[in-house]
Structure formats: structure tokens, C-alpha cells
Amino acid sequence: MNEIIQLKITIQGTKPPVWRQIQVEKSITFSQLHTILLIVMGWDGGHLYEFLVDGIRISEPSSDDEGWGGGIHDSSKIKLDSLISDSKTKIVYTYDFGDDWEHKIVLEGYHNKDETQYYPVCIDGKQCCPPEDCGGIYAFSELLKTLKNKNHPDYDDTLEWVGEDYDSEKFDIVKVNKNLRQLNSGKPKAKSKK
């Protein structure tokens, strides 16, 4: 049974931590997991990514891979359950090789599938994702300090850049799950009419 994997994803170096807890079908590919992570974390998706699972590199292979040392496995062909076996599996998801957002992914457990539940589903989380292209973890830390000090010389420019709606403490789980339900996989089965 145990068809559902529960994962906790934390952006490394964020203080307070930016994290999400999700449940996904164990048969999805790493490419599908990438799409799910974009939605739950709040990334736009305009950058390259890579998973590192116990030393195995997984991404979208391209002709450039040979120049980078090759050894990249196609994320659309590898399923989660073929590599993720227990909580000791070391998983790092890196998004945007310029800003280098490293996400630590921890397997929290397996569950039986609830036929009334949509999968994937986000079950918890804290903090808003850093703004796309903000410069990485150190720049994000400085951005947060600037936004907390209205007297900072860069406050107005920073606020204009991130937008007045940006709230580093806000996480909208309802919106995230609405966006996840738009994915094609994991929809509950329609109830049969008798």
C-alpha cells in the first residue's frame, strides 16, 4: 500500500526558515516533483534546477551537460520511489544556478492513499518564498533587513522592487493547493453513480 510519500522541503539558510510539507504519489518523476516544488515554494520557474539524491545528479539533460562533467540523469525518466527509500536518503534540490537556492528535502514517511484527497497536496508551511532573482540567500537576508527598517536608505527602492504586497511571513496554503489541483495527476476518482 503506502503509495503516498510525505516530504518536508526547507530553503537552506533562511531565517526564519522557509519550509513546506507535502504529500505526493511515490510513482511521480523528479520532473513532476520539480513542477510541484515550484508551486508550493512560490518560484516562477524560469531557471534551471537539479536534484542531488545520495550523490546522483538528476535534472533536464542537455547537450551542455558534457561540458559540466556529464553524469546527469533525466528527471523525466526517474521516479521518486526508485531512489527515495527512507529518511536517511540525502536529497538536495537546487533552483536557479545564479542565486543557488538549495532546498533540503526530508522523507518524513509513507501513507496510504486517501481516495478522496487530491495529490499532490501541501499540508503545512511557513514563510513566503524569497522574491525571484533577488540574488541568493545573503541578498535575501539583506532585503529582509531593509524592509524592516523604513529609515534604511534603500527602503523605498526595495519596496518598489518586491511590491507592496510582499510579506515575508505570509504563506497562503489555500492558494498553493488550488494551484496544485490544476496539475493533471493525482485527482480523486469520480464517485460511481448507482
Cα–Cα separations (whole angstroms), residue 176 to 9, 39, 130, 137, 151: 14, 6, 16, 23, 34
Beta strands in the chain (DSSP E): 4-11, 18-25, 49-53, 56-59, 72-74, 91-95, 101-111, 121-126
CATH class of 4-129+169-181: alpha beta
Residue ranges, the chain, pLDDT below 70: 1, 63-70, 184-194
- Model pLDDT, residue 191: 43
Whether the full predicted model's pTM is greater than 0.85, yes or no, is yes
Q: What confidence score (pLDDT) does residue 28 get?
A: 96
> What's the pLDDT score for residue 147?
93
Which tens digit of pLDDT belongs to each residue from 25-69?
Answer: 999 999 999 999 999 999 999 899 999 999 999 999 776 655 445
How far is residue 23 from each of residues 65, 102, 138, measured CA to CA in Å?
31, 20, 30
Answer yes or no: are the C-beta atoms of 41 and 180 closer than 8 Å: no
| pLDDT given for residue 128 in this prediction | 95
Domain spans, the chain: 4-129+169-181
